[in-house]
Structure 1
């Protein structure tokens, strides 16, 4: 197998596309570089001893490290103590504590972890940026990168065979489509809000889909839906979620987003019984970059700052780099080893050396997390369905079914995907539908699992109400949509529930010719829209008679958007896509 050099940019410039760091961090960085330069000169001149024993008491450094790299870093720290490695003539005593990255990032952002440790080694610069976003957070000073490992898709052998491993290669979008399409494998991964692996993988899918797939929104939504039902709380729980044999139940995952290092560790300790196989996407795998940072460096002593700098230089020396490689990490000063890749489950022609994917920008991270948060949040939706004469028109190719019949079937399918804690209500509308009003409230917005007075559940009552929808009137097809939309928005906003994705979904197949009502609606929405209680409008034009541009203009005032479907059967995927898009803009 051909050997490839590790790309230089995997371990440098780890903050490309990131938020600018605070001024005190920049000053601290300059101080650190000066100290590092001074230490290097002193070492070269023999002023410092790194192997001649300790002078005085040891400098103790507490290092919080990502759980996956903590064993390798602990091995280096233990070796440094045995070999009496020193800084400024004093032994360095690094105590490594494995800590979850997202917990440390949140503690640093809120300023609650300043005294716990002097250095932090997360698995990705994503966490550094999260820690630095709050003005009240604790300063971090970058001190280099310890190792890298690419993010890939790990599959159990039976799934690998179905996907064509190792000969068949995919982009991120193509790989995910294969994993979520017809005859799909059961796809899982770690929560992107708690895992850089999960976040980078999901972000890569979004980026790839937008570049290569004309129906990117549907693919992104399908990926998010699949992951949401099979997500693990942390990286450590991902591999246990995999099927151990072909007889495992439907709950076990067959494919997961995973790092090469995690697959290496699993395959090296599992005895070959359930060795994982890795797909490396052809549009480049993102890599975890393990950035070491001094924590609150201006408050550290000079000895502590220099000791961390010395330990970072030690991590990049040959012996320490061998220890990293033995634990399945790639290093800056070696080739991508055949043994490492094969042990992790990689084989040619999988492009395992193609790990030059640019780290996601801060905006992309926020957008991806916004999408994911909305998927995980419970929904609170008011679904408003057009029952005017326009919805009685037949849908081509549906065997004579009307737009409303196909719309009803799509809404019922969408309801099946909601949990008992999701809240959904139903209105219908047409001009003059209920006396002076153009709308009716058919089912209140309530949790689907809530027991109804008749003894069933709200889901059952809601499904019955959807099934009973029928077109009314035979005139021009006027809809009364604008008055209905304003009434539904006001009610949803007044009953807003914090912590849920509140939205109004309007499905219409006709045009409301009342221009004055449209102007009044837009004026009122501009007054009422409240970012503290966001209730985006999601408008879906069903068929060729609606006016999607006009609906989109109205929806965007609230932070929502308008969509168009030529086939009402696509409503389910469009609704999911719309909700994801709303989350990305929040």
Structure 2
């Protein structure tokens, strides 16, 4: 990183070199101050960094998260490695539980369209509660999931955020994580603009952010980006289903 070619790439883009020196890109014409003097701070000792990392889980703000998993029929599609999208998603969801602290609060919904006479396209599988008390139930439900029906993405996303808003805790990070492998297929609720307005958190005292995961090549990443952006969150691309483990880790790093 300190070799001249790499350092030149930084300084050409108006960053300073590792020892604080300005380069060609850092000029007054660009609104910058090349003559300003800065002290380069030495990085913390390895022991300090290790202590910071090992105490992170104890120090970080706790999370209150609702996981919302798509269980529509398309989740039975082969993911390309001998497993279905559903199998990989279940495996990733189980792994994700290990990333939460025991006193983080986690719940689980599933969604498709109304199946078996259900009144809504989404189902509360495990209520949001401390992971220390509901981990076993979450694991049991996740392992038992099966796929059928269509994709009621908009109705489910709205309902999930509204549910979490009713439970929101100002001392926690309040969020919904929606994983879907398809596009909205629910005529009863097909207005994307209305959904974007509904999930907007800009005027909310306690915002509930909606993180979305576009899972597989048929998911509409553009739509999911609009939903997440309105809620001041982010959308993640898992168009290659075999990457879902890594993507879900990236999502949960927000908490």
Distance, in Å, in 2 between the alignment partners of 1:492 and 1:573 is 25
Report what 1:488 is aligned to.
160
Residue of 121, 135, 153 corresponding to 1:459: 135
Q: Following TM superposition, by how much is the alpha carbon of 1:571 offset from its aligned partner in structure 2, in angstroms? A: 2.9
Q: Following TM superposition, by how much is the alpha carbon of 1:481 offset from its aligned partner in structure 2, in angstroms? A: 0.9
Distance 1:530 1:444, change over 3 A: farther
The reply to whether residue 419 of structure 1 matches residue 101 of structure 2 is yes
Alignment of 1:42-441 (within 5 A): 150-151=42-43, 154=46, 188-191=49-52, 227=53, 230-231=54-55, 376-397=60-81, 399=82, 401-433=83-115, 435-441=118-124
Secondary structure of the 1:150 match is coil
Q: Is the 8 A contact 2:68 2:111 kept in 1?
A: yes
Q: Is the 8 A contact 1:428 1:441 kept in 2?
A: yes
Distance, in Å, in 1 between the alignment partners of 2:243 and 2:203 is 31
Distance, in Å, in 1 between the alignment partners of 2:93 and 2:118 is 27
Structure 2, gaps ≥5 residues long: 1-16, 21-36
Distance, in Å, in 1 between the alignment partners of 2:62 and 2:107 is 14
Distance 1:512 1:188, change over 3 A: same
Report what 1:275 is aligned to.
none
Secondary structure of the 2:91 match is helix
Distance, in Å, in 2 between the alignment partners of 1:535 and 1:391 is 27
Residue of 101, 119, 131 corresponding to 1:448: 131
Distance, in Å, in 2 between the alignment partners of 1:426 and 1:376 is 23
* Cα distance per residue 1:359-404 (max 9 Å; x no partner): xxxxxxxxxxxxx99x82222110000000111101102x2x1101
* Cα distance per residue 1:125-151 (max 9 Å; x no partner): xxxxxxxxxxxxxxxxxxx99x97621
Q: Following TM superposition, by how much is the alpha carbon of 1:536 offset from its aligned partner in structure 2, in angstroms? A: 0.7
Distance, in Å, in 2 between the alignment partners of 1:548 and 1:498 is 30
Residue of 197, 214, 235 corresponding to 1:562: 235
Residue of 175, 180, 185 corresponding to 1:508: 180
Distance, in Å, in 2 between the alignment partners of 1:530 and 1:570 is 35
TM-score (norm 1): 0.35
Distance, in Å, in 1 between the alignment partners of 2:66 and 2:89 is 16
* Cα distance per residue 1:382-436 (max 9 Å; x no partner): 0000000111101102x2x110110000010110121110111000001123523
Q: Is the 8 A contact 2:104 2:130 kept in 1?
A: yes
Structure 1, gaps ≥5 residues long: 1-6, 11-143, 156-186, 192-226, 233-371, 451-457
Q: Following TM superposition, by how much is the alpha carbon of 1:555 offset from its aligned partner in structure 2, in angstroms? A: 1.3
The reply to whether residue 578 of structure 1 matches residue 251 of structure 2 is yes
Secondary structure of the 1:431 match is coil
RMSD of aligned C-alpha atoms? Answer: 3.1
Distance, in Å, in 1 between the alignment partners of 2:202 and 2:127 is 22
Q: Following TM superposition, by how much is the alpha carbon of 1:572 offset from its aligned partner in structure 2, in angstroms? A: 3.7
Distance, in Å, in 2 between the alignment partners of 1:472 and 1:148 is 58
Secondary structure of the 1:432 match is coil
Q: Select the structure with the greater relative contact order (CA < 8 A; seq sep ≥ 6).
A: 2
Secondary structure of the 1:449 match is helix
Report what 1:296 is aligned to.
none
Residue of 216, 234, 238 corresponding to 1:543: 216
TM-score (norm 2): 0.76
Q: Following TM superposition, by how much is the alpha carbon of 1:530 offset from its aligned partner in structure 2, in angstroms? A: 4.1
Q: Following TM superposition, by how much is the alpha carbon of 1:519 offset from its aligned partner in structure 2, in angstroms? A: 3.0
Q: Following TM superposition, by how much is the alpha carbon of 1:152 offset from its aligned partner in structure 2, in angstroms? A: 6.0
Q: Is the 8 A contact 2:79 2:242 kept in 1?
A: no
Distance, in Å, in 2 between the alignment partners of 1:425 and 1:519 is 27
Q: Is the 8 A contact 1:188 1:231 kept in 2?
A: no
Distance 1:572 1:531, change over 3 A: farther
Distance, in Å, in 2 between the alignment partners of 1:448 and 1:569 is 26
| Corresponding residue pairs, total | 220
Q: Following TM superposition, by how much is the alpha carbon of 1:153 offset from its aligned partner in structure 2, in angstroms? A: 6.1
Distance 1:148 1:542, change over 3 A: closer
Q: Following TM superposition, by how much is the alpha carbon of 1:524 offset from its aligned partner in structure 2, in angstroms? A: 2.0
